[in-house]
Structure 1
Amino acid sequence: MSRLPAISLSPAWNPLHIAFVGAHDQVDEFETYLTLLVEGTEKLESDGMNLLSGLDLEKTNLLQQIWSSISTDRRAELSETLVELADDNPELEYESVFRLSLSDVDAQIRKASIKGLWDCEDRTIIAPIIQLMRTDEEEEVRSVATQLVGKFALQGELGKLLPVDQDLVINGLMESIYDPEETLEVRRRVVEALGPVSKSEVYDIIRDFYDDEDERLKGSALYAMGLSGDESWLDFIIDEMSNPSPLLRYESAHAAAELGSEEVVPELANLVEDVDSEVQWMAVTALGTIGGGHAVEILRKLLNHQDASIKQVATESLEQIETFSDPMKLMDRGPLFDDPDESVEEQSDS
């Protein structure tokens, strides 16, 4: 049997060669974009910034080499724009850029980088974020870092962190709360971050902040009460719903929503007619979060409210209950809408 002659593929048709050439072209395109960033002559466009998404190690190293050569204003604009792009386009991933810029000399860039890492659940960012929380020279950077550490504190309570990482998070927060040189702004963010941590020491810290005369600290204590999942705080939360301070009424409504107890629904009903529009909004939103028959009854009445914004929030809250609430809570009152084919919008127009 004769054999077919061996076919010798030219390099241009060799699949491996094509892959190599393609990868090389991508690097060339990336390097060209980096050059434009350094020169600062080109307007930042989304097409170019897409090249910064999902960077591999080689491209990350290239970016790191030229990062400080990009002007500060340009780096700041780039960082803030990448945060916005990532928020609007979940398929884009700029984690490598944000990790790199955590150590930028400019505070606004460090702050933007922390925000850019908000959805990152990689345990390797915990230590550098705690480092920023504890040692960054700028208060606003420490404050934003503390909020991200708080997200990891919640994950730890949900069993989503390794014990060693959970200890790192809690110890870092405790060091901050007891640091006599730390500012009020950062310390109140620490209290909020500690909210979900189920330790008796944390309960005492929240209570101490609640008893403080500064309403900002008191407000943060209320926020932490809501995150705690501990209904022993309900009486404190209900008391603050009649506080003269709009901030504390707002935070008490928010805390009530987080705890989710139907016991606070009558008090939230009073806040629906609060003189402060933000308190009104939070009260209506809280009713939608808590749900239950009484909340539905109140929200239905709000569909005829004279304030269009209240009607809109009530509509959204009813839709939220219909979608997510336990149907057993509403069995005694029937469906959210009297007619299964009737929408909330139709009710609000009646």
Structure 2
Amino acid sequence: MQDYDQEENNRQIPFSEVIEALLNNQQPFPAIMLPSFSDLSEENLAALQTIWLQIQPQRRAALLEDLDEIQDRDTLSDFSSLSQFALEDPLPKVRTQAIDMLWDWPQKQLARQFMRMLENDPDENVRAAAATALGNYIYLGELDEFPSDLSVQIVETLVRVIKGKDDKTVRMRALESVSYSSNEAIPALIQAAFQDSDREWLISALFAMGRSGDEAWNPNVLSCLDHSVPEVQAEAVRAAGELEIQEARQPLIDMLEEYETLDDNVRIAAVVSLSRIGGEGVRQSLEAMLEEINDDEEADIISAALENLDFVDLGLLPGMFDFSPIRPHEDDEDDSDYLEDWELDDENEEDWDLDNGAEEDE
């Protein structure tokens, strides 16, 4: 995304000029015009919808990516009007980006649309993004900040997808989202994933364990802290931090004593998790590492972890590293983030097979 001068951007740009620039394929779209899409008036929204499909597909996708960057750093920006109609875009990449931009706009109509997209969209990346976005609604439902009847429908939909025959990535994202639910049937789904021979299901299960906030998963997470596969180990370390497992403190401190040999993701996860767990030896470990580290970006993370540790030591909620209620969405091209009335059939619980997404025949 191009840089733009904030003072120059403050001048009002006629939306007709914005439309003209969008349709001008001979020139890059000016970054100074990007904030024009925030808080669109009905008139400007209608004008944009009229010419939307005349815009080159890759430009539509790039536009949403740039707006998402602005939205991440400027909480006053509101691109929800554009994002909502972009959910119907024929380009899967645009639909995926639109979902990502709307995950923290908890509206009943969006929840219903995400459920429809999860079960019916022809593109697996879009379905996976919809599954991820629905996790936020379950999270809010658990806090009594979203209608419980709709939360029930969301959980039912996610469980149906997990047990179905969709692409594995879609089903894993559904598992991670449904793990927010306190329904007693959900742990069986997480346990099945944890026991699956597929490494990706194991990683997804560890993510779900951390997200669940249930200390019953502590032994499972602890058992993977020294896993030989860095991706699994990193997820276990992150989960230990989210669950604030006290027994993980010393293993993580020991881990950082040889931080130079650690996988990058494991090392960063250990720093962040220790800042959430707190306790004896944590500050000394992080400060010692900060003195030796040469990477500025990593030093910033350690400094932020030490600040977060101040909150933990004071008995306050973690400040710098509150984990987001949504998994960071993975690049489409890189596969390298209440169900009171529904219960799993006891007879089929143990026979459910994650590999084929169905129950085994007896």
TM-score > 0.5, shorter chain as reference: yes
Q: Return the offset for 1:41.
A: 4.3
What CA distance in whole angstroms lies between the structure 1 residues aligned with 2:235 and 2:64? Answer: 31
Instruction: Give runs of aligned pairs for residues 149-298 of structure 1, distance below 5 A.
Output: 149-180=134-165, 182-272=166-256, 273=258, 275-298=262-285
Deviations 1:229-249 (A, max 9, x none): 111111111110122111111
What is the 5 A alignment of 1:3-82? 29-82=14-67
Aligned to 1:130: 115
Aligned amino acid, residue 71 of structure 1: Q
Q: Deviation at 1:135?
A: 1.4
**TM-score, scaled to structure 1:** 0.80
Of 124, 128, 144, 1:143 maps to 128
User: How far is the alpha carbon of 1:79 from its aligned partner?
Assistant: 1.8
Please give the per-residue CA displacement for 1:168-188, whole angstroms capped at 9, x wherever unaligned. Answer: 2212211211112x0111111
Distance (Å, rounded) in 1 between the aligned partners of 2:170 and 2:28? 36
**CA pair 58-225 structure 1, distance change in 2 beyond 3 A:** same
Shift of the alpha carbon at 1:75? 1.4
CA contact (8 A) 1:288 1:318 kept: yes
Shift of 1:102: 0.5
- Normalising by structure 2, report the TM-score: 0.77
Seq. identity, %: 27
Q: CA deviation at 1:251?
A: 0.7
* Aligned residue identity for 1:266: Q
Residues 38 and 170 of structure 1, relative CA distance in 2, 3 Å threshold: same
Note the C-alpha offset of 1:123: 2.8
For residue 321 of structure 2, what is the aligned residue in structure 1?
A: none
Partner of 1:327: 314
**CA deviation after TM superposition for structure 1 residue 296, in Å:** 2.6
Is the aligned partner of 1:315 residue 2:299?
Answer: no
1:270-315, CA deviations, whole angstroms, 9 ceiling, x for partnerless residues? Answer: 3323632221221111001222234234324434446657655433
CA 1:139 to 1:47, structure 2 compared with 1: closer, same or farther past 3 Å?
Answer: same
Q: Residue in 2 aligned with 1:342?
A: none
Deviates further, 301-310 or 56-65: 301-310
Instruction: Give me the whole-angstrom Cα distance separating, in 2, the residues matched to 1:102 and 1:260.
Output: 37
- The structure richer in helix per residue is 1
- What secondary structure sits across from 1:240 in the alignment? coil
**Greater RCO (CA < 8 Å, at least 6 residues apart):** 2
1:137-170 superposed Cα distances (whole Å, 9 cap, x missing partner):
1111111221111121111112111112212221
Aligned-residue RMSD, C-alpha: 2.2
Q: Does structure 2 retain, via aligned residues, the 8 Å contact 1:271–1:279?
A: no
User: CA 1:304 to 1:71, structure 2 compared with 1: closer, same or farther past 3 Å?
Assistant: closer
- Residues of 2 paired with 1:153 and 1:249: CA distance? 27
- After TM superposition, give the deviation of residue 124 of structure 1 in Å: 2.4
**Against the structure 1 CA distance between its residues 188 and 104, is the aligned structure 2 distance closer, same or farther, given a 3 Å change threshold?**
same
Give, in angstroms, the shift of residue 110 of structure 1.
Answer: 0.8
Q: Helix, strand or coil: the match of 1:86? A: helix
Change (3 A) 1:311 1:32: closer
State the alpha-carbon separation in 2 of the partners of residues 121 and 56 from structure 1.
21
2-structure distance, mates of 1:174, 1:129: 15
Q: Which runs of 5+ in 1 are unaligned?
A: 1-25, 330-350
Tell whether the 8 Å contact from 1:305 to 1:311 is kept in structure 2 after alignment: no
**SS in structure 1 of the partner of residue 223 of structure 2:** helix
Residue 245 of structure 1 aligns to which amino acid in structure 2? V
* CA distance, structure 2, for counterparts of residue 185 and residue 207 of structure 1: 17
- 1:98 alignment counterpart: 83
Per-residue CA deviation, residues 23-77 of structure 1 (Å, 9 max, x unaligned), is xxx8x93234324323434431233232221013232222212211222122122
Using the alignment, how far apart are the partners of 2:34 and 2:131 within structure 1?
Answer: 28
Deviates more, 1:159-168 or 1:213-222: 159-168
Call closer, same or farther: CA 1:198–1:40 in 2, change over 3 Å: same
